[in-house]
A and B are shown apart, each in its own frame.
Chain A
Amino acid sequence: MKDLLSLRETSAAEIRELLATAVSMREILSRPVKKVPTLRGRVVVTLFYEPSTRTRTSFELAAKYMSADAVNISVAQSSVTKGESLKDTLRTLQSVTADCVVIRHSSSGAAHLAARFADIPVINAGDGRHEHPTQGLLDALTIATEKGRLSNFDLSGLTVAIIGDLAHSRVARSNVWGLTKLGAHVRWCGPATLLPTDADRLPITVCTDLREGITDADVVMVLRLQTERQEKGLLPSLREYARVWGINARSLSWAKPDVLVMHPGPMNRGVEIAADVADGVGGVRALIEDQVRNGVAVRMACLYLLMSRGREEAVQ
């Protein structure tokens, strides 16, 4: 594996290896001194064409905990605003001896394009509506941890309901492949205008009725609703969305009693998720902060596996 571009193109064995490595990394994060020398002298560049707080910070911390140098490039401060192509930006970064590029971009497929022009590993930190593979991995790690499946990351028998704006969600597109490759059953549920065409040809079940989507689910994953969707004519109002598809104590009651609630953030409290659910009021098992913590471990695992392999090949 040279790059991590999508979970669709990542095998179940590779996903399990990444997750097992992330478990070891998580152990490092629990130490008082969170630093190992694994990637000392190596340079990780995060190239973000879209604003992001948690993903970028997560990658930066992951690099630093392994003693790599992390350089952040955001579009506003770079020559991209002068019209530089992605190809030339990649070539330049490689020339200044970056060892790995983490890219976030608003165009689906941008990470694939970057990988085509770069000899160094490319990690997709979210490309348009396409995929967000490290989010998919951290979600799998979070579920496996809570459900006691860390020995082999076998998620069979578990039903994960992903609720909301599926058409525009790269998180949902990575989770389809990541979770089903580990054996979970995945449901997509949301308004018809936010379900992509032919979604039922994915290895999942699809519905528009929230009760049907949530019934007996082991995990409810709530997606962020971009508030401009109503302006595009996809929804009448946020009020109606919250009433019909919002996740609250009542809708959660349809799921299994020990249901886990997840959200990739940032949340619109009161729209796709009720504040009480997000905060775990009344015994709700909301894992949003666990997801963030697992995100750092997963990104350490990705950097470690891709960059140390690159080094072995270079030595050979």
Chain B
Amino acid sequence: MRLVLRGGRVLDPSQDMDQVADLVICDGVVEAIQEPDTAQGDTVRDVAGLLVTPGLIDLHVHLREPGYEYKEDIESGTRAAAAGGFTAVCCMPNTNPAIDTPAVVRQILERAESVGYARVYPVASLTRAMAGDQLSEIADLKAAGACAVSDDAFPVQNAETMRRGMEYCAQFGLTVMTHCEDKTMTEGGAVNEGYTSTVMGMPAMPAAAEEIGIARNILLSRLTGCRVHLLHVSTAVGVELLRWARDCGIPVSGETAPHYLTLTDEACMGFDTNAKMNPPLRADADLQALRQALAAGILDAIATDHAPHARHEKEVEFDRAPFGIVGLETAFGLVYTHLVLKNILSLGQAVHLMSSGPARVLDLPGGTLRPGSPADVSVFDLTEEWVVDPEQFRSKSRNTPFAGWKLTGKPRFTVVGGRIVEP
């Protein structure tokens, strides 16, 4: 079974490739990239004028299954992923029950296999029930298929627990993905601490609370040798700490999210709960520093932190609304429109940060179109202009601050393991 994507602009940062070519896929793997209009196949798809890249990988999504299927489930979440050009997602463990037993890992993998529109890599919880004390059975979780462990949403506050957790993970070569936050400084907080929180009269979360968490986790990575991935870095100082860790050779990577690159805390000023997330939207200086850090290669990935919530959960008082926004279906358009077209990132850098970059963070398959690689491919129309309409989302949830935004660049379809996915 041979599939040909004919005559597209094949951009693959992993092999410094940017040329018009035919992409030949055979039996689920990339077979060849060859001169345009030369390949033959059982299925030939004309992609002339379109961009062909390694399938996008999102290191950070919440699929909500099991337990919160009214917000999202594996089918709707991966469909949203596919609609956003993603061929693989890492799903966070704050489900109910949490991803803290092999049974839940297997359940997610089986569900993804049967109903998924994208590959799903479960991230297991570092501690049981994400309670922050006793470690999960990490070797068993890895054996069942967990791609990493994380304390996302419930960051481990006790430094000793985190230290031992990292030590334990390091022996199995598992990366610990950390949400960095000193909770003693953010209790009740709903927005970034600064002028906006002062005008809103809103309990706030200072940037320092995140930076203390980042610094602690970097130092624990140094102590234990455990690979640590910093989830959703949102502050300028956080970037500087990551740069320092890199310079010291500490095995730390970092991601940020499209919303931290396009919005500041001013978006909260009208008490719009769709601008409430954790870490909170920060100041303009942070946004600029994050953009520069992506361009300079300090941050490894752009991840969405796709966090679906039902409408009734967000239509409440700002301080009572849950944190988080959906992001899978707007990520590429935001990055292309606001970073690539504004000359902050090259198109190759943007694609790297959403494919080969995240693949490298967790040693995931994919992120490349080298012959012999899994045939995970994304196809985009870079000329299409569109308006974000949450009612059109494949996700079950609509909690986005980007409704009505005019974006350029839209995913057309993906290929997962050689199979065309049109969500």
Contacts and interface: CB of A to CB of B under 8 A. Distances in A.
Interface of A: 8, 85-87, 105, 107-110, 112-113, 127-131, 170, 173, 196-199, 201-202
B195 A201 contact: yes
B271 interface: yes
Given A109-B200, A113-B316, 18 more contacts: A85-B315, A85-B316, A86-B317, A105-B317, A107-B317, A107-B318, A107-B319, A107-B320, A108-B319, A110-B317, A113-B315, A128-B319, A129-B203, A197-B194, A197-B198, A197-B204, A198-B194, A198-B198
Nearest to B270: A112
B249 interface: no
A173 B199 contact: yes
A85 B201 contact: no
Contact of A85 (B193, B202, B203, B312): B312
9 contacts: A86-B316, A87-B315, A107-B320, A108-B318, A109-B318, A109-B319, A113-B318, A196-B197, A197-B194
Contacts of B316: 85-87, 113
Nearest to B268: A109
A266 B197 CA distance: 25
Contact of B193 (A86, A197, A202): A197
A87 B271 CA distance: 15
Contact of B317 (A8, A109, A199, A201): A109
B199 A8 contact: yes
Given A85-B312, A112-B270, A199 B319 contact: no
Interface residues of B, number: 21
B271 A129 contact: no
Nearest to A201: B195
Please indicate which of the listed interface residues A8, A105, A108 has the most CB atoms of chain B within 10 Å of its own CB.
A108
A112 to B, nearest CB: 5
Contacts of B201: 108, 127-131, 170, 173
Nearest to B315: A87
A131 B269 CA distance: 13
A130 B269 CA distance: 11
Contacts of A201: 195, 198
A196 B198 contact: yes
A113 B271 contact: yes
Please indicate which of the listed interface residues B200, B204, B316 has the most CB atoms of chain A within 10 Å of its own CB.
B200
B285 to A, nearest CB: 13
Nearest to A199: B198
Contacts of B200: 108-109, 130
B299 to A, nearest CB: 26
A107 B193 CA distance: 17
Interface in B291-322: 312, 315-320
A194 to B, nearest CB: 12
Contacts of A109: 200, 202, 271, 317-319
Please indicate which of the listed interface residues B202, B206, B271, B315 has the most CB atoms of chain A within 10 Å of its own CB.
B271
A155 B201 CA distance: 25
A130 B315 contact: no
The 8 A-B residue pairs with the shortest CB-CB distance in the complex, in nearest-first order: A129-B201, A109-B271, A107-B317, A130-B201, A198-B195, A196-B198, A109-B318, A108-B201
Contacts of B318: 107-109, 113
A105 B316 CA distance: 12
B312 A130 contact: no
Contacts of B197: 196-197
Contacts of A85: 312, 315-316
A121 to B, nearest CB: 18
A202 B317 contact: no
Contacts of B202: 108-109, 128-130
Contacts of A130: 200-202
Nearest to A196: B198
Interface string B169-213: 000000000000000000000000111011111111010000000
A131 B200 CA distance: 8
